[in-house]
Structure 1
């Protein structure tokens, strides 16, 4: 990793809970907002994704899809992109148990990976997008601080029940 990573920022897609969306959908939304990826990084990873701002997207079934390359500056948290990695959960404020497990595993692996590559004994801090100064939206739709304080276990009020999951994956 060639750039210094200080934080991992958690996001949500602000889409209906339990409904499937893909990195291609997010790429289209980010393209419409004017985001762009460089040709160089597109050659390295996900050449079909021209605009996605996140490094990882967690689907409702727990699958972790890649977006931007880890060395590529994201487009997910203005003012913090150059020193952060962005993870986005599909949904708004309730997530499947599979998503919660994938989020925990992804965050832990990224923290270890970044510490190893940067030779740092302190892991990058984990924040919700809404925890950043001047962010006025509740993204993600849960408190990352509370999730971390709960040993990265699912927050009961934010777990999606099976009856709430759209069957279109």
Structure 2
């Protein structure tokens, strides 16, 4: 089945920052396939037979793990399950982590988006939150109207900067100390974290339903 692609949508998985999801025995896509199966997602039998037959439920097309590993879910010509109202004509990329991504992920995201834009010239690249309803019809979706906060970075700014991320969206271990915002180390930005007992520990309150809280301590 051929599709007319009108959007490339970037998501985040709301998983713990800095934690690789995949392993030698199971890719990140395979893990997410289990998550999506538990939520009732199902791929069509013909699509399963044609591409990644071990993945019965996954809604995403691409997953970028923290170590930069790219794994695939649904085929490009297969309708995804990732953003209501736009699935039929979009391709998605899901970044593991919540709001800070490794340099390996950023590099792979850049390469992947460039390849997709070469295949689908002129297609807009947006974050999931950018597709929230424009309630007053002014052409702008303000943060107060976001139904989701992912991709947890402003995709338009990333594109305008030549696909270079802001330091606040790069895992601290990957950012030179002189470039770190004061609030970013050893904890997370105050708007996203509550300090816990012990230096370098914080609790992320995820904007997504699952997980709702993530305890994360950075080793010194």
With the length of structure 2 as denominator, give the TM-score of the two structures: 0.68
**For the aligned residues, what is the CA RMSD?**
1.9
The within-5 A match list for 1:77-156 is 77-115=83-121, 123-134=122-133, 135-156=146-167
Residues in 1 aligned to 2:56 and 2:116: alpha-carbon distance in whole angstroms? 23
The within-5 A match list for 1:5-24 is 5-21=5-21, 22-24=28-30
With the length of structure 1 as denominator, give the TM-score of the two structures: 0.88
Aligned to 1:119: none
- State the structure with more CA Rg: 2
SS in 2 for 1:112: helix
Tell whether the 8 Å contact from 2:55 to 2:73 is kept in structure 1 after alignment.
yes
Structure 2: where are the runs of 5+ without partners? 22-27, 134-145, 175-185, 187-215
Structure having the larger proportion of residues in helix: 1
Structure 1: where are the runs of 5+ without partners? 116-122
Residues in 1 aligned to 2:172 and 2:30: alpha-carbon distance in whole angstroms? 26
How far is the alpha carbon of 1:162 from its aligned partner?
A: 2.8
Aligned to 1:58: 64
Determine if the alignment matches structure 1 residue 39 to structure 2 residue 50.
no
How far is the alpha carbon of 1:155 from its aligned partner?
A: 1.7
SS in 2 for 1:95: coil
Residue from 130, 155, 162 that aligns with 2:173: 162
Tell whether the 8 Å contact from 2:34 to 2:57 is kept in structure 1 after alignment.
yes
Aligned residue-pair number = 159
Runs of 4 or more consecutive aligned structure 1 residues displaced over 6 Å after TM superposition = 163-166
Residues in 2 aligned to 1:92 and 1:37: alpha-carbon distance in whole angstroms? 26
